[in-house]
Amino acid sequence: MIKTAIFVIILFLTFFVRLEAIKNHNLPFTTDQGRDMIDIRSIAVGHKPRLIGPTTSINGVYLGPFWYYFNLPPFIASGGDPSSLLIWQIIWYQLAGLSFYLFLKKENPTLAFFTSVFFLIMPLGFNTSRYSWNANAMPIFTVFFILALFTLIRNQTPQKSFITGLLAGLSLQVEAAFGVIFFPFAFFYLQSFTRKLKTYFWLFLGFLITLIPQGVFELRHQFTLTKVLLTEFSGKSTMLGQRLSLSQRLDDRIGVLIALVRDSSHLPESFLFPVFIVTCFMALILIFKKNQTKFDWQFLLLNISFILFTLIFFLAFPQPLKGWYLLGLSVPLVLLYSSSLASIYSLGDLRLNLALVILVASSFYFTFLAQSEYLSVSQQMGSANRSSLKNSLADLDWVYRHADGQGFRAYSYLPSIYDYPYQYLYWWYGPKEYGYQPNEVAYLPNQPEYIENMQTYLTKTRPLPENEPTFLIIEKDEQNPAFEKAWKGNFSTFCEVEKVAFTYPVEIRHLENCGRTK
C-alpha cells in the first residue's frame, strides 16, 4: 500500500514538473517541429493522406507516416496548437510508466515499484519531454515493445504475436535508427521460447502491415528510398559520417553507453556508476543461483539480452552514433538497474533493504534538486532562445501590431533557409489572435512552391494596400553572415519604415514599396 501511494505521488509530481517546464509556450519550435506541424496540417485540414513521415539522417529517406497520425488527436483537439503535441507526448510518457506498474504489480509489486518509479524520474525522460520530436518519443515506444514481447514470451498467442510485430513496425516509423532493432530482436529472442510457426507468422504479419504505406510510396516513385539506402550502405555515400575502424567504434560505443548510464539517474556520477555496476552484478549472481521467481529472472534476462543485442548491432554499424540513435536504449538500461535493485530487495536482508531505501530516497532528493534548478531557469533560457515558440509568437505579435489590421506580405530568414516554423505560425496564430493571415508567406518572394498547396491554406487574408507592407523576420546567422546579408539584398528596393532588434538574436524590419507602381 505504501509503495502504491509513493508511486501515485511520483506519477503526478513528474507529470506536473514536465508540464511546468513548457508552460507559456516555453518549448523549441524549430524547422523540424514546423515541418511536422505543416505535414500534420495537410492530413487534418487538407484531408490528404500521407505515405511517408519525417525525414531521417539520410537525405531522401523518410520514415513511415505513423508519427503524423499518432499526433492527429492533439492537433485536432487543440485546433493546431504546437504545444499540444508535446503535452500529448508527456501524457504517453506517464502512461508508459503507469503501464510498467500495472503490468508488473500482478506478479511482483516491488519490481513494479522500482521499474516504474526509476523510469519516471530518469534524467533522459525529463530531457526528451521538453520538445516534440519523433526521436524523443522512442523511450515511450520501447516501453510498450518490451512489455508486448515479455507478454508474448510468457504466453504465445496469435493476438500477442501480432501486437508485438505491429509495435516493432510502428517503432521503426518513430525512429528508424533504433526501431530497426526491434523486429530482429523479437524474432531471434523468441527462438529460445517457441518453435511454433503460427507465432512467427503473426509476428511477421503485424510487422509487414506497417510497411504498406512506404511500400506504396516506393512503387509510385521508382524505389527512390531503396536506391538511396543501397547507395549509403554500399559505402558510396558519407551522409551518416565517415566509416570508423573497429577500435574507433568501440571507443564511440563505450562513450555512448557511459552517457546513457549517466542519464539513467540524477545521482552524482561518482556514486551512480559503482552502484549501477554492483547492483547489476549481484542480480546476475541471483539469476545463476536461481534465487528469483521465473517471472523476475525472465524480465531481467529480457532486458540484458536487449542491451547486448543492441550493442552488438551498433558495433557492426560502421559510422559514428548520433546523439538520438540510442535514446530508446535508456529504457532497458534503467530497467536493468531498477529490476536489479528489486531482486536485491527481495532477499529480505534488513541491512540491504535499509541501503536500498536510502538509495531510493537519495534518487528522489537529487531528482528534486535537478528539476527545481531547471525550472528556476527554464523560462529565462526560453526567453534567450530565438527558436522558442513563445519568442516566435512574440515576433508575430510585433508584426501584426505594426500591420495595424491591413494586409501584408511576410518573409523570414532562418539559418536553415526553409521557414517552416513561421509558415505554420502565420497560418495558425494569425487568425487565432488577429483574425487574418498575410497575403504571402515565404522565405523569399517568387520562389518555387516548397510546401504543397501552401497558398490554399491562406484563406483569411485582407486586401493588400498600395504601399504593400512587407515584414521581414530575420534570425541572426552567426555561422554564415554572408548568407544573411545576401538574403537581405533581395529587398534593397524597398523602403524601411522601422525595425526592432529583440534581446534574443532576431530582428524584424517593416518595409514598404517606396511608391512603386504595382
pLDDT band at 380 (very low <50, low <70, confident <90, very high): confident
- Given a cut of 80, whether residue 118 has pLDDT beyond it is yes
Residues 218 and 224 sit within 8 Å (Cβ to Cβ): yes
β-pair partners for 28:
388
DSSP class of residue 211 equals T
Range of the domain at 374: 2-381
Q: Is residue 342 located within the same domain as residue 448?
A: no
- The predicted model gives 496-511 an average pLDDT of 94
361-377 pLDDT, tens digit per residue, is 999 999 999 999 999 98
Q: Is residue 271 located within the same domain as residue 134?
A: yes
pTM beyond 0.85, yes or no = yes
Q: Determine how many CB atoms are found less than 10 A away from the CB of residue 84.
A: 18
Three cell numbers at 37?
A: 506541424
Can you give the pLDDT at residue 323? 81
β-pair partners for 500:
508
User: Dihedral of the CA atoms 24, 27, 30, 33 (nearest 10)?
Assistant: -90
Grid cell 523479437 is found at: 186
Round the average pLDDT of the chain to a whole number and report it: 90
Q: Is residue 127 located within the same domain as residue 150?
A: yes
Residues 447 and 512 sit within 8 Å (Cβ to Cβ): no
pLDDT band at 222 (very low <50, low <70, confident <90, very high): confident
Residues 197 and 161 sit within 8 Å (Cβ to Cβ): no
Asked if the structure places residue 158 within a domain, the reply is yes
Three cell numbers at 145?
A: 515493445
Q: Is residue 372 located within the same domain as residue 403?
A: no
Q: Is residue 350 located within the same domain as residue 472?
A: no
User: CA triplet 469, 471, 472: central angle to 5 degrees?
Assistant: 150
User: CA triplet 231, 237, 243: central angle to 5 degrees?
Assistant: 115
Q: Is residue 292 located within the same domain as residue 416?
A: no
- The predicted model gives 51-78 an average pLDDT of 89
Q: Is residue 73 located within the same domain as residue 28?
A: yes
Nearest to 67 by CA among 85, 80, 87: 85
Dist. CA 101–CA 7, nearest whole Å: 8
Asked if the structure places residue 254 within a domain, the reply is yes
pLDDT band at 179 (very low <50, low <70, confident <90, very high): very high
Can you give the pLDDT at residue 295? 86
Q: Is residue 9 located within the same domain as residue 60?
A: yes
At residue 80, the 3 state secondary structure works out as coil
Q: What is the DSSP secondary-structure string of 443-501?
A: SSTTPPP-STTGGGG--S--PPPTT--EEEEEE--SS-HHHHHHHHGGGTTSEEEEEEE
Can you give the pLDDT at residue 318? 83
What's the Rg (C-alpha) of the chain? 26
Q: Is residue 351 located within the same domain as residue 406?
A: no
Can you give the pLDDT at residue 518? 41
Can you give the pLDDT at residue 65? 95
Domain boundary among 360, 381, 402: 381
Q: For 52, phi and psi rounded to 5 degrees?
A: -130, 160
Asked if the structure places residue 518 within a domain, the reply is no
- The predicted model gives 102-124 an average pLDDT of 93
Q: Determine how many CB atoms are found less than 10 A away from the CB of residue 222.
A: 8
188-215 pLDDT, tens digit per residue, is 999 988 888 999 999 999 999 999 998 8
User: CA triplet 508, 512, 516: central angle to 5 degrees?
Assistant: 155
Asked if the structure places residue 116 within a domain, the reply is yes
Query: CA separation (Å) from 333 to 301, 307, 328, 382, 398?
Result: 12, 7, 9, 31, 47
Nearest to 414 by CA among 39, 82, 35: 35
pLDDT band at 172 (very low <50, low <70, confident <90, very high): very high
Q: What is the DSSP secondary-structure string of 427-456?
A: HHHHHHHHS---SEEESSTTPPP-STTGGG
Dist. CA 496–CA 493, nearest whole Å: 10
- Given a cut of 70, whether residue 239 has pLDDT beyond it is no
Nearest to 127 by CA among 27, 24, 267: 27
Asked if the structure places residue 265 within a domain, the reply is yes
Q: Is residue 169 located within the same domain as residue 232?
A: yes
Q: Is residue 394 located within the same domain as residue 364?
A: no
Higher pLDDT, 325 or 291: 325
Residues 119 and 147 sit within 8 Å (Cβ to Cβ): no
- Given a cut of 60, whether residue 169 has pLDDT beyond it is yes
> Any idea which of 113-122, 279-288, 423-432 has the lowest mean pLDDT?
279-288
Asked if the structure places residue 517 within a domain, the reply is no
Can you give the pLDDT at residue 243? 80
- The predicted model gives 121-131 an average pLDDT of 94
Domain boundary among 381, 408, 427: 381
Q: What is the DSSP secondary-structure string of 126-166?
A: HHTTSS--GGGGHHHHHHHHHHHHHHHHHS--HHHHHHHHH
DSSP class of residue 507 equals E
Q: Determine how many CB atoms are found less than 10 A away from the CB of residue 151.
A: 15
- Within 13 Å of residue 210, how many CA atoms lie on the same side as its CB? 28
Higher pLDDT, 449 or 419: 419
Residues 346 and 296 sit within 8 Å (Cβ to Cβ): yes
- The predicted model gives 112-129 an average pLDDT of 95
Q: Is residue 306 located within the same domain as residue 395?
A: no
- The predicted model gives 57-69 an average pLDDT of 85
Grid cell 517457441 is found at: 194
Domain boundary among 352, 381, 410: 381
Can you give the pLDDT at residue 244? 84
Q: What is the DSSP secondary-structure string of 13-40?
A: HHHHHHHHHTGGG-SB--HHHHHHHHHH
- The predicted model gives 83-105 an average pLDDT of 96
Polymer length of the chain:
518
> For the chain, what is the domain count?
2
Highest mean pLDDT, choosing among 161-170, 221-230, 231-240 = 161-170
Three cell numbers at 166?
A: 505491429
Asked if the structure places residue 363 within a domain, the reply is yes
Dist. CA 329–CA 255, nearest whole Å: 14
Three cell numbers at 4?
A: 502504491
Can you give the pLDDT at residue 517? 43
